[in-house]
């Protein structure tokens, strides 16, 4: 016989489909949910559906938003001449957390990765070029992660944008703040040496 | 401004309320859900609500079930004269996984814990005594966890059941299979010595 009642089994399976959630954790989460009052459970279900239904990609920058254009693209307080190019909407959130960047974003929704079959046309590069061509852009900051794919994507974009006369920069790579020189890998250490500045 | 669109923020908060899910994991899960096709998301939402709505406690044993009495209590293939007493519905599932126990269960839905203010009347002990008094029960296996509360609950129940003339047993405590004697704590080692059997 089944170990759990069918509706419980189904819920466990749904939790198991989430990334990083194994069978045991899925069971723990499902039983936690079953112990909640019904309105809490329906609230959770509603949040799931509404988050999916009420959000779209911003038609300007590609960021995840509930209004189009997104709040950043339509804000008069932001500097629309500086575009920060990131891989995903989560990276926008990470950048916003530092409360330092006052420009706007461009979300690629992916990185160039020949191994995964993702080419330049599969991510939002064309719309970025269009923005640079039609708007008055002073600087494009390439803020993809310093991985092989992130680096390749940044190089690819910079090669297109530079001839267009726009200043193209890349975020600094080096030892993380609080990190230990001794444990840094060679490439990171090299990058931190290469990117040294006068103090 | 908010880092995320409001519906996304709400979903992240819902995930964060789950046990063992922190802010970063909640964000990861929420963005994973947003990348799913809409029917997958509504499926998840439906599973949540249905698991809550369609399950109740079995009126006989207290196990979580979608039919009453539960499939184990109403099965003719099970030995209804042997009751295995466990803390929760999850423990029933754990016992069922070993495919060895053919009796029925009694789910306490808690343990006696004076520190948390949980007394014998707050968990399903009365219904267990009623079952032993009115049904032909040969053995009651006390399978609560070997923690302070689990032990206290088992001792409490055995003191009531033994005078009723029913055989009352406790699951064995000792070194876990594959475990290392060297790393076992003193009490576990003592229990494994005390419970030794001839081979």
Judge whether residue B1 has pLDDT over 70.
no
Q: Contacts by A183-187 with C-beta closer than 8 Å and gap 24+? A: none
Judge whether residue A196 has pLDDT over 90.
no
| Span B142-197, pLDDT tens digits | 999 989 999 999 999 999 999 999 999 999 888 888 888 888 888 888 888 888 87
Q: Is residue A130 a contact partner of residue A122, using CB atoms and an 8 Å limit?
A: no
Instruction: Please give the average per-residue pLDDT across A19-34, as a whole number.
Output: 93
pLDDT at B2: 58
> Is there a cis peptide before residue A97, judged by omega within 30 degrees of 0?
no
Residues of A whose CB is below 8 A from B42: 49, 52
Judge whether residue A185 has pLDDT over 90.
no
Residues of A whose CB is below 8 A from B87: none
Interface of B with A in 160-179 (CB under 8 A): none
Residues of B whose CB is below 8 A from A52: 33-34, 36, 38, 41-42
pTM for this entry = 0.76
The beta-strand segments (E) located in chain B are 56-57, 64-65, 79-86, 103-107, 139-142, 167-170
| Span A129-144, pLDDT tens digits | 999 999 999 999 999 9
B32 interfacial to chain A (CB closer than 8 Å): yes
Residue with tokens 């030995």: B79
B30 interfacial to chain A (CB closer than 8 Å): yes
**Looking at CA atoms only, how far is residue B131 from chain A in angstroms?**
23
* CB pair distance less than 8 Å for A7 and B89: no
B132: closest CA among B123, B144, B141?
A: B141
| ipTM of model over 0.85 | no
Contacts of A19 by beta carbon, 8 Å cutoff, 6+ apart: B28, B29, B32
A1: closest CA among B192, B105, B191, B16?
A: B105
Write down all domains in chain A, each with its CATH number in brackets: 6-54 (1.10.8.420), 74-198 (3.40.1360.10)
Residue count of chain A: 199
B123: closest CA among B57, B34, B27?
A: B57
* CB pair distance less than 8 Å for B11 and A51: yes
| Span B84-108, pLDDT tens digits | 999 999 899 888 888 889 999 999 9
The mean pLDDT value of chain A amounts to: 91
B57 interfacial to chain A (CB closer than 8 Å): no
Contacts of B175 by beta carbon, 8 Å cutoff, 6+ apart: B181, B184, B188, B189, B192
């Amino acid at each position: 016989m089944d170990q759990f009642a069918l509706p419980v089994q189904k819920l466990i399976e749904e939790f198991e489909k989430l990334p990083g959630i194994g069978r045991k954790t899925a069971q723990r989460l499902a039983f936690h949910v079953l112990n909640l009052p019904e309105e809490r459970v329906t609230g959770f279900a509603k949040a799931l559906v509404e988050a999916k239904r009420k959000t779209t990609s911003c038609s300007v920058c590609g960021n995840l938003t509930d209004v189009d254009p997104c709040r950043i693209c339509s804000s008069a307080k932001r500097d629309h001449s500086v575009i920060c190019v990131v891989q995903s909407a989560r990276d926008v959130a990470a950048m916003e957390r530092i409360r330092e960047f006052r420009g706007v974003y461009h979300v690629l929704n992916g990185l160039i990765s020949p191994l995964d079959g993702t080419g330049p046309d599969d991510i939002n590069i064309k719309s970025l070029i269009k923005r640079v061509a039609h708007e008055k852009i002073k600087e494009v900051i390439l803020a993809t992660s310093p991985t092989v794919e992130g680096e390749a994507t940044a190089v690819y974009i910079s090669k297109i944008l530079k001839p267009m006369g726009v200043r193209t920069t890349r975020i600094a790579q080096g030892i993380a703040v609080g990190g230990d020189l001794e444990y840094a890998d060679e490439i990171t250490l090299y990058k931190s040496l290469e990117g040294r500045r006068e103090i």
